[in-house]
Structure 1
Amino acid sequence: MKIVHVLNGVAHTGNGIANVAVDLAVEQRRRGHDVWVVSAGGGFLELLDNNSVAHHHVDFTSRTPRALARAYRQLARILDEINPEVVHAHTITPTVLGYFATRRRRAALIATVHNEYQRGVSMMRLADVVVGVSNAVSEAMVRRGVPRRKVHTVLNGTVGSPRRPPLARDDLVDLPPQSILTVGAVSHRKGADLLLAAFEHVLQDFPKAHLYYVGNVDWQHPADVARSKSWADQVHFVGFDAQPQRYFPAASVFVLASRREPLGLVLLEALEAGLPVVASDVDGIPEALDFGRAGLLVKVGDANDLAAKIKALLRLEGDRKSLAEAGARHVATLTVASMTGLYLDLYKSQSAS
């Protein structure tokens, strides 16, 4: 099967959209399919090339009429050359341009909605099939007016990702005991401020605890607040790390305090690493945590509830271990291979129709 993935870019910056698209492209190529990626490029180009996934450069990020017309012409020319059975779009503009580019070709247009809360995401209804990365995302798209017959759900899978090479012992980061870890952009959506407020409560019972933010600091407010505290040296804004899993083995608890989260690839990676997880009960997070069986769910925006759940896990090593074991069992089913198989089945059903 000839498959073309279309998205804004394949930057190696912790972007979940790029991560999923790259995982799919590489795994599909390994299964013998002819696979191309069309994007503005980025740090995963070498990985794609090493796995014989061809890349064509098209910039979908500029929104001027001239730039959009140029991107459409480039995409149409690429599709003429490849003549694919499937065009798989992962972001809004490639979906819209892909719609017009596939109308005169016998190619199914699949659109995966990775972030349902984005402005303009309803335009992805133009695709022949709209895929939500969680049931929560799929239902949100139905509420946005996408016909239910068009909507499917394929949960993201991270186990076995080609993006994550095995770590050597020297790669691992040493952390103090009672270290709380979060990975992702320091932002309002990710609840960076909520986690900091919860950490202040945690310190009342665990005064030697440490908090690690691993990710780009997109919002300075939490760092400014932390600097004003007497415990400022126990809060660490590490910045982006291309291999955040280096921090997992030494952490005590992983936390994701997001206010919105379609699924959260990093949750799956934390479960895979054997970490007990505390995360917001919002959007696709409950599905990622098997509805509370694979991790503790907290009320969205409630720093007190978040602190209570973190303290409960820090207090009892046995609870941390049993929760981590449940998480590992759950995430073992969310593999890149299983995700790829579900997408291939979906492609085949559309190609046959």
Structure 2
Amino acid sequence: MMVESSQSTGTNGAHIKHGMPAHSRNSNGGGRNSSIELLRVIAMFMILAHHFIVHNGYDVLKLPLGPERIFFQLAMAGGGKVGVVIFFSISAWFFLDKEQTIKSNLKRVWIMERELLFWSLILMAFYLVFDRADLGMKLMVKSFMPLSMNVWWYATAYAIFLALLPFLSKGLKALSREYHLALAATVLAIWGLTSFIPGMIGISDGFFGFIYLFILISAYKWYLRPLSIKQTWALTAVGVGFVLLYTAASTVLGLFGINKGIFITGDWKLPVVMIGFGMFLLFDRVTFHSRIINRIAQSAFAVYLITDYVASEKLLWVRLFNLKNLYQQPFAILQILGILLAIYVVCTLLDFIRQALFAVTIDRRRGRWFELLWDRGSAWRRSQLNPLLDDSANTR
């Protein structure tokens, strides 16, 4: 969830050669577009609500069929999938505006790893002191290597994507317009259209989901005409319509014991992608600037890290805010949304403290250690290559 600035820098030279249309508004300054930053905050709140349902100590399917259960399953559980699509779409969209290099992307991973390590060690220490019952030995060991040990699936999948992005981007640019659009149509047919059929092949790995979305988004931004406002609303509405239709079908089938899940709102399903990307395009059409919104959005990733730590899931969603104890309360939905908002605010404030600590310590020369390691690695590589080049010249 480390995402690039929502400041679009325009279409690069390679895109102009291909006659690719410009999509995003090109700003003449003023920093990040707060409309996109606000969407980032909304997306994270959707993800937080999703985690409340899927990690809760009480299965939502045990609730009696009614407005509360439909809202929990449809808006909260399903909405989190949309939130992930939105979060990644923001990153992918602005990645396409600049040249991707191996060094720049590995540096992004390096900077992200510092934040992961900070929160994994802080959270481990907190639960070790105050709530040892929710902290297992396996989680303690993994907390020392959060990225490689997959403590947070999104962070690990995103780091892999960043490492491979320079090669993926260059490969897609090397394709002609015809082949790139054909590739997009192929993956859309394999993983998009088949999502309407229960039991068909799907994407279960987050990294491949990112690749899938990046192919689609790049094809749209580089080669297709921008959707009009009516077309964008239609794209989003059709996605919502399919979700509602399949939710109704799933509910009816569940009454007969045939199906108990809402399969259309799974990972990377086409209706979810339509809603998420449609929402991004709608927010991208609006431009305004708010330092407060931008400041809050900087901590959206931390909200995910703090609340989706395994011990935090047990404390928050099993012990403190169990759905079994909440759904029968008056105005249960409003109460739950209020609780989630309070959690979001607390996590944001905690990350403000983390940012302040980083500002006076490791962020004073941000990425300096990486630059030193990169320079040493580059010097070693040159020293290894030069003898080989000399030997090659002497044998001629």
- Is the TM value for this pair above 0.5? no
User: When you count strand as a share of all residues, which structure comes out higher?
Assistant: 1
User: When you count helix as a share of all residues, which structure comes out higher?
Assistant: 2
Normalising by structure 1, we get a TM-score of 0.27
Normalising by structure 2, we get a TM-score of 0.25
The higher relative CO (CA closer than 8 Å, separation ≥ 6) is in: 2
